[in-house]
Amino acid sequence: MKSELQKLIYKNTGKKAIIEHPVDMEHGDYSTNVALKTRSEKSFDSAQGKQEARSGNPMELANEIVNKIRSAGMPEYISKIEVVQPGFINFWLSQEYLANQLEGVLKDKDGFGKLTIGKGKTVVIDYSSPNIAKPFGIGHLRSTVIGQAIYNLYNFCGWKTIGDNHLGDWGTQFGKLIYQIQNSKVKIPLQGKQNLTIEKLEKLYVDFHKKVEKHPEIEDEARKYFQMLEAGDKEVRRIWQACVDLSLKEFNRIYDLLGIKIDYAFGESFYEDKMAEVIVDAKRKKLAVESQGALIISFDELNIPPGILLKSDGATMYFTRDLACVLYRQRRWNPDLYIYEVGSDQKLHFQQVFAGAVKLHYGKMNQFVHVAHGLIRFPEGKMSTRAGKTVHLDTVLDEAIKRATKIIKKSSTGRGMTVKQQEQIAKAVGIGAVKYFDLKHQPETDIIYDWEKMFQLEGDSGPYLQYTFARTRSVLNKIKNKILNIKNTDQILKIKNTLNSEELGLLRTIYRFPEVIELAAENYSPNLICNFLFDLAQKYNNFYNIHRILGGGDSEEFRLALTAATGQVLKNGLSLLGIDTPERM
RNA sequence: GCGCCUGUAGUUUAAUGGAUAGAACAUCGGGUUGCGGACCCGAAACUUAGAGGUUCGAUUCCUCUCAGGCGCACCA
């Protein structure tokens, strides 16, 4: 509809107009400021020496435009156009049009909101990417949850989506870990039961960094172990593999709990044998130069530090691996877009990788996007694995589920449920709360870690949306035996004739869902979906509180249709966010 | 030191250069056993860190200052 309006304005003014939803619905469904914009253009024109005077008064111009539209015959989807100070043109959609949209929701069901804008295009999304041998921390929740939402969004927009979990399973950090294992009492048995845990691995890593403070020379020892790993030393390799296996088991447990499934998990080690080609290629293209004993690609022209392909000891860097990774993805999928959902502390690194990939002709700059999410910080400072200052995700999820359970037990809505049902719902609700808390923030801003707010079950929260959905289901279940006849919503409207403001408000919100999807995908901002769904749920609950749905007389059928559509949109939106929608809660 | 990012009610935050800066939490006051109270309505609370500038119009763009965060070749 937005594009229709844009065309309409273009036809009558020759301008590409900005069409927006007025913040206040009193100002209509759509609004444009084209008439206001011409004022600055006029001064631009005269600066160019064009004397031709345009009518300088935005109000007059706006009226002129509106008269043109009217005399050409108003499109049937518009019921009213208005010009207001200082020169806005506001449009109201007709009830027939809105009713049609409602029908669309009920007809398209789970497919409502699906777009085709990505048809034929492929996107690779790099997300989650936890580090092996460290517990899944709360810091990686952001990448996982936002990345998955972006994945779902692009998929919904018609893109071919490929998710890759770029596990941190290679690098000097393993040298450190293996050094520490070899120099402690920890044993990795050749076979049989493994008594190593991920917490122990984390402790070893912390121990190493404590030791470094007194004995800086062990850093060199650690680097040697990484060299040995790259050289294929059997024992070192075996220890590494044990750490990887152990970590993957733990990660999969977390992913199961979160309901996340990522298409691929190649990890950094996958590119071990693919880096040589990049290095040769960079040398051949005269991009790789030696500097201070290391092999680098310089980015002087961008005013950023060089990327290091090979350290002076001959070992590779993650810069090298990420370039090999781009090359691999390009060959395998030839994607139109690469999205990296990684923390903002790695901005510079991705600038270097993208610049390097462009120089090597692996892609064009506009194909690479780093969705840099802000960090989760303690009020007193940064989280740090090295210092052992982390929050483990599983403790957070456990607590969330515990709190949801408590509410279910207390609430009357939980009555008549089996213990097993209650457990399932508590899981959906608790995890929904944590995910939503993360997703509702703009990705780029930092989040101050707030133990209480993460579990919020009221107000602007995941459970509020889930609750509203369950409410719509509850109403609809009561009339299961009656067939909901919503084939002709505009006919229902005719019988009803007038809508109250709550009904109209819902109607004027629901149809916007596909626009929100597009905007959220374009801006890599799942939080826009959160905003929209919360607004919709608030409107529905207000409507629900004031008006009877069942037993609503002439209005019953229409209100049922509204209820079904609201539930459907909530469900579609939440599922894009990766949040479950239990029928009851 | 240099570069990038952020600064909005007590707290967490929203707002493609537009209309009275919108919510949630917390606080205070209300809502006939109700189609699910994990809900709804209302009140109080923001000179958008500060100072300039561009613009008909600035939370948004530019400059400076202040505060915080992140990063700055052999970690990832």
DSSP states of A64-115: HHHHHHHHT---TTEEEEEEETTTEEEEEE-HHHHHHHHHHHHHHGGGTT--
Same domain, A243 and A137: yes
| Both structure tokens of A332 | 């395998």
> Into how many domains does chain A fold?
3
| Whether residue A443 sits in one domain with residue A361 | no
User: Do residues A86 and A146 both lie within one domain?
Assistant: no
Assess if residue A111 is contained within a domain.
no
Query: Token pair for residue A5?
Result: 């309006």
**Statement to judge: residues A558 and A431 lie in one domain:** yes
DSSP letter for each residue of A478-513:
HTTTS----TTHHHHHHHH----HHHHHHHHHHTTH
**pLDDT tens, chain A, 585 aa long:** 788 898 898 888 888 888 999 989 999 999 999 888 776 454 434 333 333 344 468 888 899 999 999 998 889 999 999 999 889 999 999 988 998 999 999 999 999 999 999 999 999 999 999 999 888 988 899 999 999 999 999 999 999 999 999 999 998 889 999 999 998 877 777 666 667 888 888 889 888 988 888 888 898 899 999 899 989 999 999 999 999 999 999 999 999 999 999 999 999 999 999 999 999 999 999 999 999 999 999 999 999 999 999 999 898 999 999 999 999 999 999 999 999 999 999 999 999 999 999 999 999 999 999 999 988 877 666 677 777 677 889 889 999 999 999 988 887 666 678 888 899 999 999 999 999 999 999 998 888 777 888 888 999 999 999 999 999 999 999 887 565 555 666 666 666 668 899 999 999 999 999 999 999 999 999 999 999 999 999 999 999 999 999 988 888 888 999 999 999 999 999 999 999 999 998
Check which CATH number belongs to the domain holding A167 and give it.
3.40.50.620
Closest CA-bearing residue to C1' of B26: A453
The structure tokens listed for A37 are 């914009």
Residues A424 and A568 in one domain: yes
Percent of residues in chain A assigned helix, strand, coil, to nearest 5: 55, 10, 30
- How far lies A544's CA from each of A17, A201, A414, A466, A572, in Å? 37, 53, 21, 15, 21
Residues A343 and A415 in one domain: no
Nucleotides on chain B within 7 angstroms of protein Cβ: 3-7, 11-16, 18-19, 22-26, 31, 34-41, 55-57, 69-76
Domain end point (choices A349, A377, A405): A377
Q: Are residues A87 and A132 in the same domain?
A: no
- As a rounded value in angstroms, the CA-to-C1' distance for A460 and B9 is 17
Closest nucleotide to A430: CA versus each C1':
B38
- Of the candidates A318, A348, A377, which is a domain's last residue? A377
Compute the C-alpha angle A268/A269/A273, nearest 5°: 115
Q: A190 near A235, Cβ under 8 Å?
A: no
CB of A449 closer than 8 Å to CB of A438: no
Residue A411 CA, nucleotide B39 C1', distance (Å): 12
Domain residues for A464? 393-577
Q: Are strands A122-126 and A337-343 parallel, antiparallel or unpaired?
A: parallel
Together in a domain, A33 and A62: yes
- The answer on A287 and A373 residing in a single domain is yes
Task: Using the structure, give the distance in angstroms from the CA atom of A446 to the C1' atom of B50, rounded to a whole number.
Answer: 23
Residues A281 and A414 in one domain: no
| C-beta of residue A376 within 8 angstroms of C-beta of residue A344 | no
CATH of the domain at A32: 3.30.1360.70
Distance A80 CA to B65 C1' (A): 49
Do A323 and A206 belong to one domain?
Answer: yes
In a domain, A505, yes or no: yes
**Residue A383 located in a structural domain:** no
**A56: in domain:** yes
The pLDDT, as a whole number, for residue A49 is: 38
In a domain? residue A288: yes
The answer to whether residue A211 sits within a structural domain is yes
In a domain, A382, yes or no: no
Nearest residue (CA) to C1' of B22: A23
The CATH number linked to A429 is 1.10.730.10
Residue A118 near residue A157 (C-beta atoms within 8 A): yes
Strand, helix or coil at A124? Answer: strand
Q: What is the DSSP string of A525-549?
A: -THHHHHHHHHHHHHHHHHHHHS-S
- Residue A210: partners with Cβ closer than 8 Å, 6 or more residues away: none
Judge whether A168 and A321 are in contact, CB under 8 Å.
no
Apex A535 CA angle, A582 and A151, nearest 5: 60
Any idea which nucleotide's C1' is nearest the CA of A84? B19
d(C-alpha A525, C-alpha A95), whole Å: 31
Asked if A143 and A87 sit in the same domain, the reply is: no
> What are A333's two structure tokens?
């999928």
The complex's ipTM works out to 0.95
Contact indicator for A383, A390 with CB cutoff of 8 Å: yes
The CA–C1' separation of A573 and B65, in angstroms, is: 44
Q: How many CA atoms lie within 13 A of A416 on its CB side?
A: 4
Structural domain contains residue A76: yes
